[in-house]
Amino acid sequence: MSEFEKRKFLVFIIGVLFLVLVVFEVVSFGNKQNDILEVSYLDIGQGDATLISYLGKYQILIDGGPSGRKLLEELGKQMPIMDKKIEIVILTHPDFDHLAGLIDVVKNYEVGVFLGNGASADTQIFEELESVLLEKNIEKEILTEDSKISIGNNLNFEIFNPDDATLESKDRNENSIVLRMDFGINSFLFTGDATGDIEKDMITDGENIDVDWLKIGHHGSKHSTTEEFLVATSPKFTIISVGARNKYKHPAVEVLELIGKVGVPILRTDENGTIEVFCRIPNEECVLR
C-alpha cells in the first residue's frame, strides 16, 4: 500500500469514527430527553458530588469531591459528549472533599454561575479555586436561608441553611448549604456536611424537610443524622456519598443502624457506584436505574 493510499485509508477511518461518535451522541441525547430529570450521586471517592441534569441540557453540579480527574471522568459518563457547559455550580462549603474537584471543572467547562455560602477557607486549594473563578470571570453569588432557585415551571430549589447564626460559627460543616429540590411530586434534600445541630435547627425553624430522597449528611458521620431528623424527613431512600475503606470509617455503624431501624433503604457510592435517579414527568415518582 502506497503512502497516499495509507493516508486515504486513515482519513476514511477517522471519518467513520467521527460519524459513529455523532450518531452515538444523537442517540444518547435523545435518550436523555426522555428522562426530563436525572439526579446522579457521583462515585468520586471520599467526598461529595451530585450532578442534576434537566431536559438533557441544563446541568447543576453540587460539590466536586476531592479529585478533579475522577470528577471529570464521571461527568464525561453523565453528560452529552458535546455539552461543555454547566449552568450552575454549587459549593456547599469549602472543605477539600467538596471543593477540590471543582477547580478542574471550572478549567474545563463553561460555568454559568458559581454559588456558595460566602464562607472562605485559609487553604491553598480554596485560594486556587478563587483564582480560577476570577481568571475565568465567572459570576459568583451567595446562597443563604430562604434563597430560592427555579428552572422552568417544574424544577425548584429552596435553601434551608446557612442562616445568620450558623454563619458566625467557625465550624465549616455548620455553614453547609442545605437545599431542597422539588420536581412535581418528587422531592430531594441535599445536606452537604450539615451536623446534627443544623438538623435540629431546621426542624425547629419548621423547614419543609419531608422528602423522598435524602442524601445523608457528612458521608454518614456519627455527628449527623439524628433519629429526630430521619423521622422528620421520612425519606423513601437514603444516599450516602462515601469512599471505600476510608480512614474516617464512614459511614458510622450507629448511623447505619439508625437508618435500618426506621426501615429506609440505604444506597452507598462505595458499594453501588454512581447512584442514578431518573424522573420522566413531574406527576410520576422518580425511580432508580
Which residues are within 8 A (CB) of 226 and not within 5 positions of it... i.e. 6 or more apart?
196, 199, 200
* DSSP state letter for 110: E
Task: Dump pLDDT digits (tens) for 241-286.
Answer: 999 999 999 999 999 999 999 999 999 999 999 999 999 999 999 9
CA distance 65 to 112: 20
3-state secondary structure of 139: strand
Task: Dump pLDDT digits (tens) for 181-215.
Answer: 999 999 999 999 999 999 999 999 999 999 999 99
Give 3-28 as a 3 state SS string: HHHHHHHHHHHHHHHHHHHHHHHHHH
Closest C-alpha to 196, from 222, 171, 176, 219: 222
Closest C-alpha to 268, from 240, 243, 288, 237: 240
54-58, 69-73, 141-145, 282-286: range with lowest mean pLDDT: 54-58
The shares of helix, strand and coil residues in the chain, as percent rounded to the nearest 5, are 40, 25, 35
pTM, entire model: 0.88
Give yes or no for a contact between 223 and 195, defined as CB atoms under 8 angstroms apart: yes
Task: Dump pLDDT digits (tens) for 63-104.
Answer: 999 999 999 999 999 999 899 999 999 999 999 999 999 999
Which residues are within 8 A (CB) of 52 and not within 5 positions of it... i.e. 6 or more apart?
37, 38, 39, 40, 59, 60, 61, 62, 181
